[in-house]
Amino acid sequence: MRVLVYGGCGGLGRAVVQHFKSAGYNVTSVDIGENPEADSNVKVNLADDWVNQEKNVVQSVLDVLVGSKLEAVINVAGGWAGGNTQDPDWVKNADLMWKQSVWSSAIAATIASKCLKEGGLLVLPGAAPATSGTPGMMGYGMAKAAVHQLVKSLGGQGSGLPDGSCTLGILPVTLDTPMNRKFMPNADFSTWTPLSEVAGTLEKWSKNLERPATGSLVSMHTQSNSTYLRLEN
């Protein structure tokens, strides 16, 4: 069984790669760097424009797979930046958020169209706050809302994905990452979703277990160290 993790060098991406490896999957990581735990790596060149980035990444993935098909394409790439219209950097931040979340999701969708098995899984990175207005983090909210729309489009008829495939958007509230703990040391960690919960959910979905309907946005909530899922559409 093979999976591809887009953003495999990030905090969540490393946890997902490690989880799938331990579950016996062959894992390809796509990122600006290499993840030594992955079976293979495809590097993204940030100097490429969107069109060339897609072309180069997709061809590199095809070269790695050599005709093999994937059980799942999982995009966990992204980042966060705040700012409202009075912030001089908010448009700059919006551009960065677009590149990290929307570019990666569009490229992941192209990879899925070419490399996913029939009945396979495509997961894209949404965000629970972006289901409504995000005045304090406008660029982030814009990018995540675009990813949400892409999930719904990919879940519809005529999306170009293989027959029977399932596209889901995963919408965490706050993930329990070292970076979040560093910047929010006084937060209530019992309300943060462990990375292991996310990775375990993705593995179940890759096996077509407990999958929501294709095109769904699935938020992840944690209370008192217990995580539950909720459909947002």
The whole-number mean pLDDT for each consecutive block of 10 residues of the chain, a chain of 233 residues, reads 96 96 98 97 94 96 97 94 92 94 97 98 95 94 97 96 97 84 85 92 97 96 89 85
How is residue 154 annotated by DSSP?
Answer: H
Integer Cα distance of 27 and 114 in angstroms: 17
Integer Cα distance of 105 and 85 in angstroms: 26
CATH superfamily, with its number, for domain 2-231: NAD(P)-binding Rossmann-like Domain (3.40.50.720)
Region for residue 3 given its phi and psi (left: phi exceeds 0; alpha: psi -120 to 50; beta: otherwise):
beta
User: From the CB of residue 230, how many other CB atoms can be counted at a distance below 10 Å?
Assistant: 11
Q: Given this model, what pLDDT does residue 203 score?
A: 98
Spans of all domains in the chain: 2-231
Is there a catalytic annotation at residue 140? yes
Q: Given this model, what pLDDT does residue 192 score?
A: 84
- Tell me the two tokens of residue 219: 């938020």
Q: Given this model, what pLDDT does residue 33 score?
A: 96
Q: Given this model, what pLDDT does residue 36 score?
A: 97
Q: Given this model, what pLDDT does residue 189 score?
A: 83
Q: Given this model, what pLDDT does residue 165 score?
A: 97
Q: pTM of this prediction? A: 0.95
- Tell me the two tokens of residue 3: 């999976």
Q: Given this model, what pLDDT does residue 188 score?
A: 85
